[in-house]
Chain A
């Protein structure tokens, strides 16, 4: 029993933290957000390090390091609200790898794992998916790929087969689009779509954990410095207790996300429940913690100039992505009838 990261995973975390604290400083993020452009230099660097393929099997050009290692990267990229199409690309690769057939994996995964191909995942109704994160860039890129989930089924299509209309999401650090398709366009993913979506959820939940963690850190820095009535505002319990609550929410989401990532690698029977729990907790935490961060910053927190709003906006998108907390709690409730005592045996 060991709940900590392995030495290798900690090394990945250290490397990522170091690299991103330099390459994704707020000025950089802001510059790209305001221009609604990805940071191409950063993306190239991440691709050179093999990040997009960290969990993709080696035979398809990835590093095969598993879901836990991938979660570490998602957290780190979430912390800095990195303006790169990492998550949409990783999610599409996850769905193709775990719900696709051999020939589909061979066709798409090497490009996605190397980052040469960009991916996006959307939830469609009658062939139309609104606000597909990363969608606009797949259209602009040569050979982008889109995975559309509709009901219980999924299909993969090349961006050329879809009608992609760029849309501005509230989070300007990643592109978005409205994607419409003909009913028959693309190819169905005929494998375990539900299981693949669960793996995707873990990546989103992990990003939310990173977002929450950073929002709390920025808040702590601010409330220790900012003084009113002659004392730091962080000494007021209304403020400090909310910070404590932000920590609790973050740690709750972190432990559930870590557990879910571990089940994806090692205990697939528990994956569905663990992923639903992680996404529910992380969606709530992301919203609550980033909202708390804005509140604790006062008027500054409401300005475009302060950077907490990037975290809030990323959290809003992630919290809703692939289903929000209520949706996933409903799934957990449906599983409860089958769940017995959760004590490991």
Chain B
């Protein structure tokens, strides 16, 4: 066991920290609404890209730095600590790119990776549907080969909760290409061009008031054969690669964000004397302990990946523990910070409301518990009828 960093890692951290200190993002726009906010994030990613900091974990040949797992964790810690905006193309960087690196053809990597990094082409994830959420493999969106145009697919269906679709050029789309085989086997993973007649994006307002996610109405949309990722009928496996990255990639950044919110909450408690109140002190200490446990579990998961090539049980536990802790924290903050946390438009009220999504997005907590029970603990699968 050695929880220190080597020279190379320390140098990596120093270099990044130095760059972040010298290149602070421009202030967050105060008006212009969500579009201005998004443009601000896009601009920030562009600057990361120009300096070679958009995705250090990507191999150098695709525009990254070939950073080790530890360096990549350091990267997210520092990005989180600097309180910079979230890169605009977060789904492309964390999900799309890594999925293509595993399953994509050389031509696909050549074509798509660079514009993901530069935020020139934004990506979204078209997995969930009105009738297929946790049971993703039940999805109904259909893709059929166009008899009139060989080499092209025609897609029809509906997607929902598609974050960032309004800004996206490409959609990671999972569709059914064969209805005569068991549900997991008839799926194919496509890259769908969002800029076409057959794709309509309708914003969905969230409980925070903003419209981060959308509905997609897809009607005879066209996808060329070369945009199939990982082969026809192999969509479930490719989608799992995307989902694994979704649950793992953000771990370190989220942990740091939680740390900052907790530090702010503690500061507030100190100011109004609540840190002396044993009930508040107990609750804050428990949150601090959880926050540290998340950090340690994330590092432990990383050690497992380095040693055994795959995360241990910690992998599935981090997102669960993080989302639950963030909800507890933002709820406690409402008691500590007071009216400000319940006033619309404040940062605290945003955090309080946004936290409710944490236990739903990227796999609900119940589904994560099922995964832990079945795959980590080896418990028998629940009987399902369907």
Contact = CB atoms under 8 A, between A and B. Distances in A.
Interface string A274-309: 000100110000000000000000000000000000
B211 interface: no
A185 interface: no
B70 A343 contact: no
A251 B302 CA distance: 15
A5 interface: yes
A336 B317 CA distance: 25
B206 interface: no
A336 B288 contact: yes
B1 A262 contact: yes
B275 A256 contact: no
Contacts of B374: 240
B369 A231 contact: no
B286 to A, nearest CB: 6
A251 B297 contact: yes
B303 interface: yes
B152 interface: no
A237 interface: yes
Interface stretch (B24-32, B97-105, B122-130, B259-267): B259-267
B360 interface: no
A241 B378 CA distance: 12
B1 A240 contact: no
A330 B285 contact: yes
A333 B320 contact: no
Given A231-B383, A244-B377, A343-B259, A1 B5 contact: yes
Contact of B296 (A9, A255, A334): A255
Contacts of B382: 235-237, 240
B289 interface: yes
B295 interface: yes
A3 B305 CA distance: 11
B150 interface: no
A1 B4 contact: yes
Interface in A208-243: 216, 220, 223-224, 231-232, 234-237, 240-241, 243
Nearest to A328: B285
B2 A240 contact: no
B309 interface: no
Given A256-B292, A262-B3, A341-B259, A332 B285 contact: yes
B70 A333 contact: no
Which residue among B263, B297, B377 has the maximum number of chain A CB atoms within 10 Å of its CB?
A: B377
B292 A336 contact: no
Contacts of B378: 220, 224
B82 to A, nearest CB: 11
Nearest to B277: A333
Which residue among A236, A245, A336 has the maximum number of chain B CB atoms within 10 Å of its CB?
A: A336
B383 A235 contact: yes
A332 B289 contact: yes
Interface string A1-22: 1111110010000000000000
Interface string B298-320: 01101110110000011001001
B289 A243 contact: no
B370 interface: yes
A139 to B, nearest CB: 37
Contacts of B281: 329-330, 333-334, 336
A326 B297 contact: no
B288 A332 contact: yes
Contacts of B379: 220, 223-224, 232, 234-235, 240, 243
Given A1-B2, A240-B369, A252-B321, A220 B288 contact: no
Contacts of A330: 278, 281-282, 285
B3 A248 contact: no
A337 interface: yes
A208 to B, nearest CB: 14
Nearest to B9: A1
Contact of B380 (A231, A252, A267): A231
Contacts of A256: 289, 292-293, 296
B91 interface: no
B291 A251 contact: no
A67 to B, nearest CB: 10
B229 to A, nearest CB: 32
A333 B288 CA distance: 9
Given A255-B297, A344-B5, A4 B289 contact: no
A11 B259 CA distance: 36
Given A237-B369, A241-B369, A241-B373, A2 B2 contact: yes
A68 interface: yes
A4 B314 CA distance: 13
B284 interface: yes
B80 to A, nearest CB: 9
A247 interface: yes
B380 A224 contact: yes
Nearest to B308: A4
A252 B270 contact: no
Nearest to A252: B293
B376 interface: yes
A326 B4 CA distance: 30
Contacts of A216: 377
A245 B374 CA distance: 13
Contact of A3 (B5, B259, B300): B300
A263 B298 CA distance: 18
Interface in B1-39: 1-6, 9
A206 to B, nearest CB: 13
B341 interface: no
Contact of A344 (B3, B303, B314, B376): B3
Contacts of A332: 285, 288-289
A205 B95 CA distance: 38
B377 A220 contact: yes
Contacts of A245: 369
Given A1-B299, A220-B378, A236-B382, A326 B282 contact: yes
Q: 4 closest pairs, A vs B, by CB?
A: A333-B281, A240-B373, A329-B285, A255-B296
8 contacts: A1-B5, A1-B6, A1-B303, A237-B370, A247-B377, A277-B292, A326-B282, A337-B266
